[in-house]
Amino acid sequence: HAQTDGQTERMNEILEAYLRAFCTWQQDDWSAWLPFAEFAQNNHPSATTSLSPFFANYGYHPHVDLETIGTSPAHVDEENADGFVHSLAQIHEFLIDHMSYAQAIYGDNADRRRTPAPDWGPGDEVFLKAEHLHRRRPSRKLDSLYRGPFPIKARLSASVYELDLPAWYKIHPIFHVSKLLDYDGHPFPNQQDAEAAVEENDETEYEVKEILDSQVRHDKLEYLVWWDGYDIERSNWEPAEHLENAQEKIDQFHERYPFKERPGRLYRVAGARLIEGGGGSVTDPTPFQANTPKKAKAVRFQDTNESPEDLCSMSFTSWE
């Protein structure tokens, strides 16, 4: 890719242009032109160094002389060999100077279109771009663009930082500055954070701020809980039996999302329709699979005397 190995990609473009100009209409002789294309490229002066790659490697320009083909190489004595080595060393020094000069010019031109990297230090807080992070919400397009803020643990270079991420993130904590965004402090300076936990009957209880989602895992109903006083990123799945004191929040969630998994209803959606049972516990669940090319999901039925076709207009095929 041009952003990762632009020099190689540029070389491929030059060779393609050469072969495009010389190969036949049927394009069946392009491989025969490769040695000539390679020779032409290696004998062409570079815009950066003003020297050809061949001259940079060997210290002289190649010559195509048919009369010398097949003749024995000329005798080289020690004095000529030392002179050749010294000349080649001077060429390499010349190349290094010209390449450094060219890189400085390229850097100046590129920096004109860039903003200076922020000068952060350990303890400063930044947001982390969320484009490559695991998400829990249904749509990536409408999800938060950044996560955090997180404190900076160390500055590894002018453009690379190590963040002090929570343990549940389970990702590499080192990021380029392009993945970070400055955090300018609390959005409401006079606002006080809510208490994260309260003491009641010698036990620590956490207040539920909001129920975000529900699911069935290992045949048990769970809720994704956003705890009061904590960032939404610390939301976690809790079994329904752990939320006996948050029934009001649960009722609000199911009132807003009536087709989400809930007690006394079927816990799976086939296609776009919810399949309901008659209540009670799952005593003899029978697996079925929807005969549809789109999003065919497993469906679990509760106690009922009706067939799957009666419960839903979709057709089903039992698993073997």
| Average pLDDT, rounded, for the chain | 71
pTM reported for the whole predicted model? 0.43
In the chain, the domains with their CATH numbers are: 6-61+83-111 (no CATH), 125-182 (no CATH), 205-252 (2.40.50.40), 264-320 (no CATH)
Contact, 60 vs 51, CB < 8 A? Answer: no
H or E segment to which residue 283 belongs: none
Residue 149: alpha-carbon gap to chain centroid: 19
Mean pLDDT is lowest, of 68-77, 182-191, 293-302, for: 293-302
Residues in the chain: 320
d(CA 35, CA 199): 81
The pLDDT of residue 161: 93
Nearest Cα neighbor of 310 from 276, 281, 287 is: 276
Residue 184 has pLDDT above 90, yes or no: no
Q: Binning pLDDT at 50, 70 and 90, where does residue 303 land? A: very low
Query: Quick check: bond before 149 cis, omega within 30?
Result: yes
Nearest Cα neighbor of 250 from 203, 204, 211, 205 is: 211
Mean pLDDT of 261-274: 55
For 79, 132, 239, the CA distances from 214, given in Å and listed in that order, are 85, 24, 10
The pLDDT of residue 265: 65
What's the pLDDT tens digit per position in 231-257?
A: 777 788 889 888 888 899 999 999 999
Mean pLDDT is lowest, of 44-53, 183-192, 209-218, for: 183-192
Q: Binning pLDDT at 50, 70 and 90, where does residue 17 land? A: confident
